[in-house]
Amino acid sequence: MHAEVTERGKTMENRLGIWGWLGGGRYGPERYAYALHRVAGMALLLYLLMHIVVTSARVFGEATWRVTMAAVAHPVFRVGEYLVFAAFAYHALNGVRLILVELGIGLGRPAVPIYPYVSSVRRQRPLLIACMVLAALLLLLGGLDLFLPTR
């Protein structure tokens, strides 16, 4: 995963490769949620780069705008846009979780480990569950919206 610096100051070879990105090892579902966060993030970035160019068509007036919107009106694009919404909902809520964990919010105070120990990873579990339930709710609402007639 991360580059490790040796005593000579040279970086070690990354032996994990792609698994270093996607594998969670013993870190549990939080680590896999993080890997999926990155996949969703890259998909959103790809969409953003195209979205900037496509929506700039508005500057050239109504005719150009209509042609551009007609080009992306096919049901395939509507499903694609739902997937973008799904990626956003997941990335946003998991991102909130990551920021909270990064800042140590909601994890409780550090304490002397007295048996039976409570892993810090387990302390994050309710946060993961809450964020995923909210993301699932947004996916359901977005899916429902997709099937409502456009007015």
Partner 1 sequence: MRETKFWILHMAAGLVILALLGTHMAIMHLGELLRLVGVGPGSPIEFANVAARGRLPIFMVTYIVLLAAALFHGLFGLRTILLELTLSPRAERAVTVTCWGVGVVLFLVGAWAAVAAAFLLPGGAS
Pick 114 or 144: Cβ nearer partner 1: 144
By CB under 8 A, the residues from 89 to 148 that bind partner 1 are: 89, 92, 95-96, 99, 102, 141-142, 144-146, 148
Cα–Cα distance, 62 to 120 (Å, whole number): 56
The piece of 24-32, 44-52, 116-124, 128-136 that touches partner 1 (CB under 8 A) is 44-52
- Per DSSP, the three-state class of 16 is coil
Q: Which residues of 78-95 are buried (b: 16+ CB within 10 A; e: fewer)?
A: eeeeeebbbbbbbbbbbe
Helix (H) or strand (E) holding 54: helix 29-55
**Minimal distance in Å, beta carbon 120 to partner 1?**
20
Q: Which residues pair with 5 in a beta bridge?
A: 11
- Is residue 50 a contact partner of residue 68, using CB atoms and an 8 Å limit? no
- Is residue 90 a contact partner of residue 74, using CB atoms and an 8 Å limit? no
Pick 114 or 148: Cβ nearer partner 1: 148
Given 6, 7, 26, 49, the residue binding partner 1 (CB under 8 A): 49
By CB under 8 A, name the binding residues for partner 1. Answer: 1-3, 11-14, 17, 20-21, 38, 41-42, 44-45, 48-49, 52-53, 55-56, 58-59, 61-62, 65-66, 69, 81-82, 85, 88-89, 92, 95-96, 99, 102, 141-142, 144-146, 148-151
